[in-house]
């Protein structure tokens, strides 16, 4: 392969490819963001043509957004990223207008319908929807990006394309991260990667053997079974979405007073909201709910443009009625998680050879879905909770101020509820995604989080 072709065709890592294979189970694996903008200063044509021109100008700098999935010959390796030769912005840019009166309920219903649709794999895996007709005169922009792109150049490129720190002043560009010279993805075919793994097997086995007692003890103490809840079901094709926000200063104040981290507070707020919701529906288990909490495995000097994440189980202590006791119990749990991740980091795989993986991995996903196995096997978690750092200052999109940035994430079979919060300009913006039938009114959980903040603040100043 020539150097030029090698730059244009890049194999996915095993973890990146897993997000592609999981779609065989019938659950789209893209994440989104719902941006609310102040009323833009544009003419009668509206904001959509203005934003399209903005994108047209910025897109040439975003190489990752021009990449398309390409299957390996005979399905003998993971798919590759290849540069699209016929990129057309009109296949990724969509304009919508809400019918009057343009309520928030109408907006969220539209976003839920859009989020439930898979991205077209014959094109670069992203889409942007501009939504006008909001009652307050503002505009919403909903972006969708496949998770196979997320933890690398895709997210960086999309932000760089869209957002400015002030009208007309782009977010500062950074050099595209250089991949380590001996990256697993630079080793070419799956056969080369298998050979490399076999050559390194003796050293790997020695490392595992020496650490085995401690690793086994850690795994035995850390793996939990979650109680059954209405969220541990097979998901259907439809979604519900709820959004909200709380002042980040309140979260930091609670964290400082009780000497815990802001993430501990976020988990405690979610636990309180879930307890309240399940009590309301006579479905609260006697034992604690367990959240699947994404953790990064990336080291500080790692410039790989791929996903390097895993999941940790975090007890939410929903069996506790006292909010302060729950917060301290969660803080103790997250301290243990940090210690466990520190020990196990080197043993958690983020890549695996792709020998026939498009066949067997996709097949396993289909079996998981068709057999409703998520409802039959013991649950390891009840939902996913993510806490994502965002911009501390307000940003602009095509000259309009972004007043909120709500994350919109993924639900899968057995995990029909996802709560993601993202800090943005002094707020914690909350995005809740659920299967339509598993959670009829996720807005109740948003209000539960807001009440939980006030409950903890009340413990500081009774």
CA distance linking residue 427 with residue 451, whole number of Å: 16
How many domains does the structure of the chain reveal?
2
Residue ranges with strand state E in 63-195: 67-70, 80-83, 93-97, 126-132, 139-146, 163-166, 169-170
Same domain, 179 and 221: no
Assign 3-state DSSP to the chain and report helix, strand, coil percentages, each to 5: 45, 25, 35
Torsions phi, psi for 140 (to 5 deg): -115, 145
Cα R_g (the chain), whole angstroms:
23
Mean pLDDT of 121-138: 95
Same domain, 308 and 381: yes
Percent of the chain predicted with pLDDT > 70: 78
Sort residue 398 into left (φ over 0), alpha (ψ -120 to 50) or beta. left
Q: Which helix (H) or strand (E) holds 295?
A: strand 290-296
Same domain, 253 and 291: yes
Assign residue 71 the CATH number of its domain: 3.30.559.10
CA distance linking residue 76 with residue 311, whole number of Å: 28
Q: Which domain holds residue 103?
A: 10-190
CB neighbours of residue 353 within 10 Å: 20
CA distance linking residue 49 with residue 95, whole number of Å: 9
pLDDT for position 230: 97
pLDDT for position 361: 81
Lowest average pLDDT, out of 195-199, 260-264, 361-365, goes to: 195-199
194 pLDDT more than 60 = no
Residue 20 in domain: yes
Same domain, 21 and 170: yes
At a CB cut-off of 8 Å and minimum separation 6, what does 342 contact?
Answer: none
Same domain, 295 and 432: yes
Same domain, 295 and 165: no
Lowest average pLDDT, out of 68-77, 78-87, 370-379, goes to: 68-77
300 pLDDT more than 70 = no
pLDDT for position 347: 53
Residue 3 in domain: no
Averaged confidence pLDDT in the chain: 84
Same domain, 40 and 88: yes
Return the sign of the alpha-carbon dihedral for residues 63, 64, 70, 76: positive
Last residue of a domain, one of 155, 190, 225: 190
Same domain, 217 and 170: no
Indicate the angle between helix axes 323-344 and 201-222, nearest 10 degrees.
170
Tokens 């309180």, located at residue: 272
- Give the catalytic positions in this structure: 147
* Prior bond of 101 cis (ω within 30°): yes
pLDDT tens figures, 163-189: 998 776 777 655 443 333 334 444 444
CB neighbours of residue 242 within 10 Å: 22
DSSP one-letter code for 151: I
Same domain, 248 and 160: no
Residue 394 in domain: no
CB neighbours of residue 228 within 10 Å: 14
Residue 108 in domain: yes
Same domain, 60 and 154: yes
CA distance linking residue 348 with residue 160, whole number of Å: 31
pLDDT tens figures, 200-218: 444 444 444 444 454 444 4
At a CB cut-off of 8 Å and minimum separation 6, what does 92 contact?
Answer: 123, 124, 126, 127, 128
149 pLDDT more than 90 = no
Residue 227 in domain: yes
CA distance linking residue 198 with residue 176, whole number of Å: 32
Tokens 């507070």, located at residue: 265
Same domain, 420 and 271: yes
280 pLDDT more than 90 = yes
CA distance linking residue 51 with residue 270, whole number of Å: 35
CB 123 within 8 A of CB 68: yes
Sort residue 74 into left (φ over 0), alpha (ψ -120 to 50) or beta. left
Give the Å distances, CA to CA, from 127 to 4, 8, 65, 141.
28, 22, 10, 11
CA distance linking residue 268 with residue 453, whole number of Å: 9
Last residue of a domain, one of 190, 223, 245: 190
Same domain, 126 and 228: no
Between 311 and 94, name the one with better pLDDT.
94
Assign residue 379 the CATH number of its domain: 3.30.559.30
Residue 112 in domain: yes
Residue 402 in domain: no
Q: Which helix (H) or strand (E) holds 405?
A: strand 400-408
Last residue of a domain, one of 132, 161, 190: 190
Highest-confidence segment of 14-23, 120-129, 146-155: 120-129
What is the SS3 assignment for 125? coil
Residue 367 in domain: no
CA distance linking residue 318 with residue 269, whole number of Å: 11
Please, which pLDDT band fits residue 2 given cuts at 50, 70 and 90? very low
Please, which pLDDT band fits residue 306 given cuts at 50, 70 and 90? very low
> Hey, what are 5's tokens?
């072709």
Please, which pLDDT band fits residue 160 given cuts at 50, 70 and 90? confident
CB 412 within 8 A of CB 375: no
Mean pLDDT of 370-378: 92
CA distance linking residue 122 with residue 85, whole number of Å: 12
């Amino acid at each position: 392969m020539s150097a030029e072709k090698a730059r244009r065709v890049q194999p996915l890592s095993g973890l990146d490819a897993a997000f592609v294979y999981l779609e065989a189970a019938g659950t789209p694996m893209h994440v989104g963001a719902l941006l609310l903008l102040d009323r833009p200063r544009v003419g009668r044509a509206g904001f959509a043509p203005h934003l399209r021109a903005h994108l047209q100008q910025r897109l040439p700098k975003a190489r990752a957004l021009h990449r398309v999935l390409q299957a390996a010959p005979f399905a003998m390796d993971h798919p590759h990223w290849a540069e699209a030769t016929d990129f057309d912005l009109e296949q990724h840019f969509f304009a919508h207008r809400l019918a009057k009166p343009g309520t928030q309920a109408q907006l969220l219903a539209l976003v839920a319908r859009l989020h439930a649709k898979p991205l077209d794999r014959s094109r670069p895996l992203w889409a942007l929807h501009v939504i006008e007709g909001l009652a307050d005169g503002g505009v919403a922009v909903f972006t969708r990006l496949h998770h196979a792109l997320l933890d690398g150049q895709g997210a960086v490129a999309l932000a760089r394309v869209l957002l400015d720190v002030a009208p007309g002043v782009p977010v500062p560009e950074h050099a595209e991260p250089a991949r380590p010279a001996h990256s697993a993805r630079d080793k070419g075919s799956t056969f080369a990667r298998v050979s490399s793994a076999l050559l390194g097997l003796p050293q790997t086995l020695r490392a595992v053997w020496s650490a085995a007692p401690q690793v086994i003890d850690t795994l035995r103490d850390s793996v939990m079974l979650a109680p059954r809840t209405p969220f541990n079901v097979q998901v259907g094709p439809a979604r519900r979405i709820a959004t909200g926000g709380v002042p980040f200063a309140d979260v930091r104040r609670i964290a400082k007073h009780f000497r815990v981290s802001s993430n501990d507070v976020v988990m405690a707020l979610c636990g309180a909201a879930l307890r309240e919701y399940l009590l309301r529906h006579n479905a609260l288990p006697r034992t604690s709910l367990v959240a699947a909490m994404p953790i990064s495995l990336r080291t500080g000097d790692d410039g790989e443009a791929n996903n390097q994440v895993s999941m940790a189980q975090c007890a939410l202590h929903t069996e506790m009625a006292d909010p302060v006791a729950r917060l301290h119990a969660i803080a103790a749990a997250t301290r243990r998680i940090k210690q466990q991740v520190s020990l196990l980091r080197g043993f958690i795989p983020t890549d695996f050879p792709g020998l026939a993986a498009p066949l067997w991995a996709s097949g396993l996903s289909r079996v998981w879905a068709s057999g409703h196995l998520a409802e039959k096997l013991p649950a390891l978690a009840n939902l996913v909770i993510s806490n994502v750092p965002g911009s501390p200052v307000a940003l602009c999109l095509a000259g309009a101020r972004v007043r909120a940035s709500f994350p919109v994430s993924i639900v899968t079979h057995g995990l029909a509820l996802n709560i993601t919060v993202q800090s943005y300009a002094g707020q914690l913006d909350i995005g809740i995604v659920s299967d339509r039938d598993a959670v009829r009114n996720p807005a109740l959980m948003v209000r539960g989080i807001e009440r939980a903040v006030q409950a903890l603040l009340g413990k500081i100043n009774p």
